[in-house]
Amino acid sequence: MTLAIIHTRAALGLEAPEVLVEVHLSNGLPGMTLVGLPEAAVKESRERVRSALVNAGFDFPLRRITLNLAPADLPKEGGRFDLPIALGLLVASGQLPPEALAGTECVGELALDGALRPVSGVLPLAMATRRAGRRLIVPRANAEEAALAGELVVLPADHLLEVVAHLLGRTPITSYRLERSARTRVAGPDLSEVRGQHQARRALEVAAAGGHNLLFAGPPGTGKTMLASRLPGILPPLSEDEALEVAAVRSVSGLPLRDHWGRRPFRAPHHTASAVALVGGGSRPRPGEISLAHHGVLFLDELPEFPRQVLEVMREPMESGRIHIARARHERRFPARFQLVAAMNPCPCGHLGDPRQACRCTAAQIQRYQARLSGPLLDRIDLQVEVPALPPEQLTASDQGEPSARVLERVLAARVRQQARGTLNTLLAGRALDEACALHAADRAWLAGVLERLKLSARAYHRVLRVALTLADLAGETHPGRDQLMEAIGYRQLDRLLRA
């Protein structure tokens, strides 16, 4: 047989479209032609495959070789096609029977001696292979990641010779089974370590219960970062589907999955991060911090220190829960359903309103500093809380605050009520939000007057309703009342102050 077709997959963001490696041997001067829109690393596979076959003891066909990676209009990147090309050459040259690869996909980079090296982005590929109902041959270093896909036969190998021996039926490869023990929550920073700051702790609980964005503002050293780091500990565990989505983003980013499975991400980029680092992009688009924080927390410390144009690029993903990156030759879509927690000082020196130390900033400096945050961005932050300096007697008190485990119980109870409505409160919109709130006429009139006095936008109004609904869920109420509306309005005071 002079024609062979091997199944594999490309990497296209979180997608793994099928690629057919077609190998044809014909008469003519010996040579190898590779077509199908390969990039440089794929073109170099010709030399890696040639050396791997020879050093592994196989006959390299001295004929005219045409390699086609179909479909031809799909960009091919990386060394993942080495193993499929090598097996295609062996089938086309008669060293492997074609039926040996029936119902099988493979991926892997080859060393010059035939050893298999791991590749990135294996989890999305494995999930696509499972949906196609085929087996998957991978480098052994990728086996654990591929097995996360679930009901999939994963065949790990260290060397090309192992793969061939398995396909010939001489030494079958034992399929890899992932021993997944009962998932336990990883002990992290606990809320009981936070002294005082009762309003900030309350806002943190509300944010966890409804999935709301949160901003802490206060002088240095008042516990803003400490509070933010406690949020993952009071968030519900990830579901199986959510854990797979989180793992898939890490997989295509080349980040390790071990010790991260089932854990909510907590990403805290430095304020010098670029817009591309934050939302993703590049000549070959990769996920940014907002995608790496998918189903988790994105913490932006020193929020006004981020360049304004960097912060503005987050506005659309904060609403849609995804990011669409378009380049001249590439287009990628990545998930970005993250929960934003930010912290900031009230002024450049940080001591505006601090009883411990006088502020040295002029009014113009304070205005310029606070103006770095745009109104549209503040509108998208549901809870805005001042974190004041603690008095010494409260800071040195021996009493501990409420532990995270107890707060988590209330958060889970509130989430159960939201599941009955079909979605988190932060995602409710339109008629569903109006039906869930169902305010009394007197409360609607009161709220309209408050909105007029505070000059809040329509977006802020809907976010007030969502926060009030979360407060009702925490209180076990069917619909929000005046008390919940007043507390929700209280969380909008800061953006009015910053835009004054």
Walk me through the domains of the chain, giving residue ranges and CATH numbers.
3-167 (3.30.230.10)
- Identify the pLDDT of residue 183: 46
- Mean pLDDT for the chain overall: 91
Q: Which residue has the higher pLDDT, 272 or 221?
A: 272
Q: Which residue has the higher pLDDT, 423 or 497?
A: 423
Q: Which residue has the higher pLDDT, 292 or 392?
A: 292
With 70 as the cut, is the pLDDT of residue 1 above it? Answer: no
Q: Which of 57-61, 153-157, 187-191, 494-498 has the lowest mean pLDDT?
A: 494-498
- Identify the pLDDT of residue 116: 98
Do residues 409 and 209 lie in contact, with contact meaning Cβ atoms separated by under 8 Å? no
Do residues 237 and 408 lie in contact, with contact meaning Cβ atoms separated by under 8 Å? no
With 80 as the cut, is the pLDDT of residue 71 above it? Answer: yes
User: What percentage of the chain carries pLDDT values higher than 90?
Assistant: 70
With 50 as the cut, is the pLDDT of residue 144 above it? Answer: yes
State the pLDDT confidence band at 180, using cuts at 50, 70 and 90. Answer: low
Instruction: State the residue for tokens 């829109």.
Output: 37
Do residues 94 and 168 lie in contact, with contact meaning Cβ atoms separated by under 8 Å? no
Cα separation, 87 vs 163, whole angstroms: 9
Task: Kindly state the average pLDDT of the residues 334-347.
Answer: 95
With 80 as the cut, is the pLDDT of residue 179 above it? Answer: no
Do residues 499 and 459 lie in contact, with contact meaning Cβ atoms separated by under 8 Å? no
- Identify the pLDDT of residue 195: 83
Q: What are 320-333's pLDDT values in tens digits? A: 999 998 877 778 89
State the pLDDT confidence band at 173, using cuts at 50, 70 and 90. Answer: very high
With 60 as the cut, is the pLDDT of residue 496 above it? Answer: no
Q: Residue 27: how many CB atoms within 10 A of its CB?
A: 7
With 50 as the cut, is the pLDDT of residue 184 above it? Answer: no
Do residues 267 and 292 lie in contact, with contact meaning Cβ atoms separated by under 8 Å? yes
The pTM score is 0.89
- Identify the pLDDT of residue 187: 63
State the pLDDT confidence band at 260, using cuts at 50, 70 and 90. Answer: confident
With 70 as the cut, is the pLDDT of residue 186 above it? Answer: no
Task: Kindly state the average pLDDT of the residues 161-189.
Answer: 81
- Identify the pLDDT of residue 128: 96
State the pLDDT confidence band at 239, using cuts at 50, 70 and 90. Answer: very high
Task: Kindly state the average pLDDT of the residues 336-342.
Answer: 96
Instruction: State the residue for tokens 């605050």.
Output: 401
Instruction: Kindly list the distances between the CA atom of residue 464 and the CA atoms of 112, 255, 491, in Å, as whole numbers in the listed order.
Output: 62, 38, 8
Task: Kindly state the average pLDDT of the residues 247-270.
Answer: 91
Q: Which of 3-12, 57-66, 253-262, 483-492 has the lowest mean pLDDT?
A: 253-262
End-to-end CA distance of the chain: 78
